[in-house]
Structure 1
Amino acid sequence: MRRHLWSLTAASAALATTIALSGCGGAEESSDEVTLRLIAADYDVNGGQSSRNYWSSLIAAFEKEHPRIDVEVTIESWTDVDRKVARLVEDGKAPDIAQIGSYADYAADGKLYSADQLLSVPVQSNFLRPLVEAGEQRRIQYGLPFATSSRLLFYNKELFAEAGVTEPPKTWAELKDAAQQIKDGTDAAYPFALPLGPEEAQIESMLWLLGGGTNGYVEPGGSYTVDSPQNAATFEWLKTDLVGAGLTGPGAPGELNRKEAYAAFTRGEVGMLHGHPSLLKQAKKAGIELGKAPVPGRDGTAKITAGVADWIMGFNQNGNRDEIGEFLNFLFTDENVLDFAAQNDLLPVTSSASQAMEEDPDHDDLKDFLAQMSTALLPPVSKTSWAAVSGDVKEKIGKAVGPGGDPAKVLGEIAQTAAEAETREGEEE
């Protein structure tokens, strides 16, 4: 869930709302005052103040309930936050809490508290199961899911009607046929948007790999299978049947980012794409009548869809375990989880908040996304090697479907990166 925004620093502000929740373990609070340092990512896609306001309001409510604990928050853009936290950790100045894109390296280096050291049993057991599994190393949870989303096939209903497409496609063959009808029967510039650029190529690719019948980048046991024959066949189909047939755009897939693909969809130039919940409001605001359906697969609707998560974690360097736990238990109340998800067009990370959102008619548009999260598969984020593999996918995967591209060769190169990174990962354990 990458965003390209600006950075700001936020201190806590006043709020007349309080929420009471006891911390983990039932330990007695010390009378000593403690200041927690929190670094968080900016989710405001419009460059506004929503992330600052969320944290300021939450922190004010927390501090009113826990007067001996102060929380100082710094909000950084997604382009900077992971790098800045890594630098602080390297310099021996780790924050107490970080809300960023990955946790695996810090967990492997023994720099994090585990979930059971921080959270009450009811809070820890309330996370959605796929997110718990993605947050574990050696069956111990270190990464606490902060925000999540899934993907659906979005389509322009007006273009479908104009082209004579009566139903959303369930198979790749039907998707190709629908794209061809849009190309032949409408003025739409791009029947299908395929963003394999560096912003989020690893997720777009995973959607196709899952639709091709594999588990994506790894086998169930955990070893990388990037260049499996099935995965190569998936990208061969994309190269020949979709890209080679002139059914994609705008621009070359390897240069197209999600942001630009979504913008083209809201201009009415794109017939279909894989959509994030945030696109719902964007399309409605632009007057696009949007339809949504499960992601098609080679032989039918994909059995598993890709999930995406961002993480929050407690660093153990400063020894403020009890105070970090108090804050995180407070953070994961239904009210706070729902507030953040609703503000940012994301999905709740807990079962109870997900159920509350599903039952709320104001969130009817998100029910299809919510239904997928109980079985969604996340990229192998628990592997410290994933950062290198993900980076290689972002850099190279677009070449697999470009002119003269060789999917098997490109996937083989990524697999080599994966093997080398996994070897280093094993040596470091």
Structure 2
Amino acid sequence: MLKSRRNALIGATLIGAFFATNAYAETTLNALFMAQAAYSEADVRAMTEAFSKANPDVKVNLEFVPYEGLHDKTVLAQGSGGGYDVVLFDVIWPAEYASNKVLVDVTPRITEDMKKGVLPGAWTTVQYDGASYGMPWILDTKYLFYNKEILEKAGIKTPPKTWDELAEQAKTIKDKGLLATPIAWSWSQAEAAVCDYTTLVSAYGGDFLKDGKPDFQTGGGLDALKYMVSSYTSGISNPNSKEFLEEDVRKLFENGEAAFALNWTYMYNLANAGPDSKVAGKVGVVPAPGVAGKSEVSAVNGSMGLGITATSKHPDEAWNYITFMTSQAVQNQYAKLSLPIWASSYEDPAVSKDQEELIGAAKQSLAAMYPRPTTPKYQELSVALQQAIQEALLGQTSPEDALKTAAENSGL
């Protein structure tokens, strides 16, 4: 009796030890994502669930914050000694993150198949000073969306190829009483405004920096801001643009209240086929326009990557998760939300189905993506530019003085 009880106790102890060991063996990753644009929260959760099914010993805790909180949340967690294993980061941050050792250099982990298979332009999203700090995930730029029905009613046969043509077509639509303010922009005092500004800088052939110093206050950089101010003060642009982020622009456009809008890839399928869109089936998309004699099209590099934080205690599991999320199979499955980083994906009929127009625009735009300045002090520079754009739009100062002050406040 005593012997059997002792054996039972030993058995229970061994079973307890077994479960304790297996529970301990489960790795938990904390991942930080963006709660807007490109892949939705539901999509990221679905992708992660698929990863967990294939990797039952790894649990992934997901956290979503608005884009505006992504940078600071990452940096603050780093300073507190951890928090996240995997973070989503913007193309503008690798210089800062590398300089401050926020992300791990994953160059040795990148295979030859990855190097050959991913579009060359996508790699620039995660690279700084010859090293890679993650895998590109969201390949994105801003396109010019237009309402085909409104243009037809206005007698406009083709969408604008230059920014001056955009202003002319918007004036025609306004003068015919079709819409009071035909253009919508994301010009809130946030990174969104810098993205629109960068698109125009690329069109006008401007430079952000020259020999490491600000150079946007003259030439194409100044022309870009002058265009924004002219579009705003002439009455062809929605006056609320100065407070809009991209989601505000999408909702306005989907409601039929804008003939033209500059926005990211994700808006195409939501506006053209979304259940809440009033303009479904009427959405056209072309590359952002160029400037006669200077450019055919314009584009900003708005891509994002997934990286491993320097404080992660599970870098191998984190890398496995990143390679799953950025894999060609997963990217192709969700291609209606964000175009794949893999070159051969564009030959897949399932990827291009029902978005041939977008793919056509992407082939030109992705090849013309213009980078925001690569500098560890990007955050300071961006804040200075955001303020300059707002002050110029509101007429508080001239474009010349606004950019001159931005250059002085850029920290460069």
Question: Which TM-score band (shorter chain)?
Answer: 0.7 to 0.9
| 3-state SS, counterpart of residue 262 of structure 2 | strand
Q: Does structure 2 retain, via aligned residues, the 8 Å contact 1:116–1:124?
A: no
Deviation at 1:355, TM superposition (A): 4.2
Aligned partner of 1:335 in structure 2 is 329
Alpha-carbon spacing, 1:77–1:258, altered in 2? closer, same or farther (3 Å): same
Alpha carbons 1:40, 1:75 under 8 Å: kept: yes
Q: Given the two structures, how large is their TM-score scaled by the length of structure 1?
A: 0.78
1:99 matches 2:88: yes
User: Which of 175, 194, 197 in structure 2 is aligned with 1:202?
Assistant: 194
Per-residue deviation, residues 7-58 of structure 1 (Å, max 9, x unmatched): xxxxxxxxxxxxxxxxxxxxxxxxx946252313144669863332221222
Q: CA RMSD in A?
A: 2.8
Aligned to 1:127: 118
Aligned to 2:4: none
Counterpart mapping for 1:68-79 below 5 A: 69-78=57-66, 79=68
* Partner in structure 2 of residue 390 of structure 1: 382
Q: What per-residue deviation string (whole Å, max 9, x for no partner) do you get for residues 204-261 of structure 1?
A: 111111111224x335x66542212332123223323x2232211143x432333222
* Match 1:137 to one of 123, 128, 134: 128
* Length, aligned pairs only: 377
Paired amino acid for 2:222: A
Provide Cα deviations, 1:363-396, integer angstroms capped at 9, x if missing partner: 424303431223422323x422112222232333
Q: In 2, are the aligned partners of 1:130 and 1:375 still within 8 Å (CA)?
A: no
Shift of 1:190: 1.1
Aligned mates of 2:324, 2:250 — CA distance in 1? 35
SS at 1:308's partner residue? coil
Which SS does the other structure have where 1:182 is aligned? helix
**Alpha-carbon separation, structure 2, partners of 1:210 and 1:109:** 29
Matches within 5 A, 1:7-156: 33=25, 35-43=27-35, 49-61=42-54, 63-64=55-56, 69-78=57-66, 79-101=68-90, 102-156=93-147
CA contact (8 A) 1:157 1:290 kept: yes
Distance 1:42 1:195 in 2: 18
What corresponds to 2:343 in structure 1? 351
**CA distance 1:291–1:108, change in 2 (3 Å):** same
SS in 2 for 1:374: helix
* 1:225 is aligned to 2:219: no
Please state whether the residue corresponding to 1:410 is helix, strand or coil: helix
**After superposition, what is the alpha-carbon deviation per residue over 1:84-125, rounded to whole angstroms, capped at 9, x for unaligned?**
332221011253322244443332123432232333231244
2:288 aligned with 1:295, yes or no? yes
For the structure 1 residues 353 and 40, does the alpha-carbon distance in structure 2 shift closer, same or farther, using more than 3 Å as the test? farther
Q: Relative to structure 1, is the Cα distance of residues 413 and 360 closer, same or farther in structure 2, using a 3 angstrom cutoff?
A: same
1:415–1:341 Cα change, 3 Å = farther
Q: How many Å separate the matches in 2 of 1:224 and 1:282?
A: 38
Residue-by-residue CA offset, 1:321-372 (whole Å, 9 max, x unaligned): 4433333333332112223443xx2122232334437864244243034312
Task: Specify the alignment match of 1:238 in structure 2.
Answer: 228
Percent identity of paired positions between Structure 1 and Structure 2: 18
Tell me the CA shift for residue 59 of structure 1.
2.6
TM-score, with structure 2 as normaliser: 0.81
Tell me which residue corresponds to 2:399. Answer: 407
- Which residue is 2:318 aligned to? 324
Q: Which runs of 5+ in 2 are unaligned?
A: 1-23
Q: Residue 38 of structure 1 aligns to which amino acid in structure 2?
A: N
Q: Does 1:263 align with 2:256?
A: no
Amino acid at match of 1:99: L
1:112-150 Cα deviation digits (max 9, x unpaired): 322323332312443322232242221111142221212
Partner of 1:306: helix, strand, or coil? coil
User: Structure 1 145/406 Cα, relative in aligned 2: closer, same or farther at 3 Å?
Assistant: same
- What is the correspondence of 1:174-213 to structure 2 with a 5 Å cutoff? 174-199=165-190, 200-213=192-205
Distance 1:340 1:117, change over 3 A: farther
My pick for the range that moved more, 264-273 or 103-112, is: 103-112
